[in-house]
Each structure stands twice: as C-alpha cells, then as structure tokens.
Amino acid sequence: MRLKDEVAVVTGGAAGLGRAIVDRFVKEGARVAVLDKSADRLAELEAQHGDSVAVFAGDARSFADNKALAKLCVERFGRIDCLIPNAGIWDYGTSLVDLPEDRIDEAFDEMFHINVKGYMLAAKACLPELVKSRGAIVFTASNAAFYPDGGGPLYTATKHAVLGLVRQLSFELAPYVRVNAVAPGGVGSSDLRGPKALDMDQTSITSIPLGDILKDVLPLGEMADAKDYAGAYVFFATRSDCSPATGAALNFDGGLGARGIFQSSGGKELPAKLGLQGEAA
C-alpha cells in the first residue's frame, strides 16, 4: 500500500484513465475526491469504493466547482496530498483546414477551457491544501504534448499548454508542491469525447479501432489499457520514491519517441537472431 493515508483529488475520475487512477489509488490505500460531469458514473464509483471516495458532480471549467471539490475533500478526508487534473476532451484529429470557419472560435474555447483552464482552476482551488501538505500535482498530458498527429491543432495545442503549466507551476510552487505530468499514448478502456462545438460530444473514441491502428505504430506493439497507466501516477504521488521530481513529464506512450524510419521497432527479429523462438512470446 504505497499511498496509505494519503488523500488525492482527481478530475474526470468517473471514466477511462481517471477511473483507473481512482481504482489504483484506493487499492494503494489512498482516499480520493473525484469531480466528474457524469453523475451516473460517479454513483457507480461510489457504489464500488464506498467511504474511500467522495464524489462531486460538476464541471472542470468552473472555479466554483473546483473550490467545492477541494472543500468536500477537506471536509471528508481532512487534507489534500495529491491533485490529478485529468478531465479532458479530444478533437478527433480535426485539421486546421477542416475546422469550420463559423465554429472555430467556439471549438477553441471549449477545448482550452476543459483541457487547460480546468487544470489551472483545479490547481488554484487545491493550492492552499497542497502547500500545507507539501503535496504533489500530477497532470494528465498526452503523446500530443510532444508529437504531431495525436490530435488536430486544437488538441495538440492544449496538451502542449499542459507542459507550460508543469514548467511554470513547478517553479512557482517549489519547494512546497512537486508538479509533474504523465503523457500517456492511446488509452484502452477510454470513452474520450469531442467538443460540442464540433458536434462531437456524443462521439466516443471507442468508435475508432485505435488498438488495431497502434499495433503497427507503437514500438512496443500494443496499446496499453487505462489501468496500465495508473502506476505512473502512483509514482509521482509517492513521497518516498519521488522526492526529487518536479517539472518533469513522463513519456508513457509505448515508445512513440523511439520509432524508426523504416519500421516502428528495430527489435522484431531479436528472438530469431538470439535463437529464442518460443521463449519470447
């Protein structure tokens, strides 16, 4: 139990990656306050974890909701040790040329308000408690914070902006609060949606065969499931293992930065060359 008696706040914690983080943090002994816009999914979360979670149905874009979440967390669990701003939406790779002229303003605002402003508001709302506890912030970034084609310009710009928050806040909040990010690649078990301004709020990433597409792209050959990503958040939240880390973003994406020109991975023939057929499944 690496997070015994620790208290975390997670936004977008009722589905996908956020849900996997909440499940893992509870398993590691933490108590977790969760904000999400889906009251139904929050009820499911509460039914599973009981008193280990406190849930708040609200909008990550609202400072009042982020404040109410922080207040609920302190009332129920007495403190905040770790904040994980994670609620996000995707632009489904909509390119600049395809962004409709009459919706580009609205789509930009919606993407940035959820993916960037929401993160900053969560940090602002939890700041006094995080300073008191000498705690940590772990932002969810993305492969799109580093490389093109993880989204269109809207999504990619929001995720690059998350790195800006990591760099600036790790400076401003030291030595009291450690600020880092996890940059996942494609996430299995995600229900990631798009902006309402582009009529994509009912579109789920499950409509795309992402696992099949990424098989041929990722050097490690397989898209990870949401639960496979959760350990990185535990690492950044753990005081004993992570005391020197601040201002860091962990590329946690199946090796997108280690791809070749002629093929995604140079190691496919290793077992044959080493005479290990059958032993390296």
Contact residues: ligand NAD, CB under 6 A: 12, 14-18, 35-38, 41, 59-61, 86-90, 114, 140, 142, 184, 186-187, 190-193, 205
Question: Are the C-beta atoms of residues 47 and 23 closer than 8 Å to each other?
Answer: no
* CB of residue 204 to ligand NAD, shortest distance in Å: 8
Which residue has 């005391």 as its token pair? 243
User: Smaller CB distance to ligand NAD: residue 36 or 129?
Assistant: 36
Structure tokens at 73: 């967390």
User: Smaller CB distance to ligand NAD: residue 65 or 133?
Assistant: 65
User: Smaller CB distance to ligand NAD: residue 225 or 247?
Assistant: 225
Q: Rounded to whole angstroms, how far apart are CA atoms 250 and 256?
A: 12
Bridge pairing between strands 82-84 and 53-57: unpaired
Which entry of 119, 155, 229, 233 is annotated as an active-site residue? Answer: 155
* CB of residue 281 to ligand NAD, shortest distance in Å: 26
* CB of residue 131 to ligand NAD, shortest distance in Å: 25
Is the backbone of residue 76 left (phi > 0), alpha (psi -120 to 50) or beta?
Answer: alpha
Q: Establish whether 155 is a catalytic residue.
A: yes
User: Smaller CB distance to ligand NAD: residue 209 or 275?
Assistant: 209
Q: Rounded to whole angstroms, how far apart are CA atoms 129 and 76?
A: 14
* CB of residue 238 to ligand NAD, shortest distance in Å: 21
Question: Are the C-beta atoms of residues 85 and 119 closer than 8 Å to each other?
Answer: yes
Residues with catalytic roles: 155
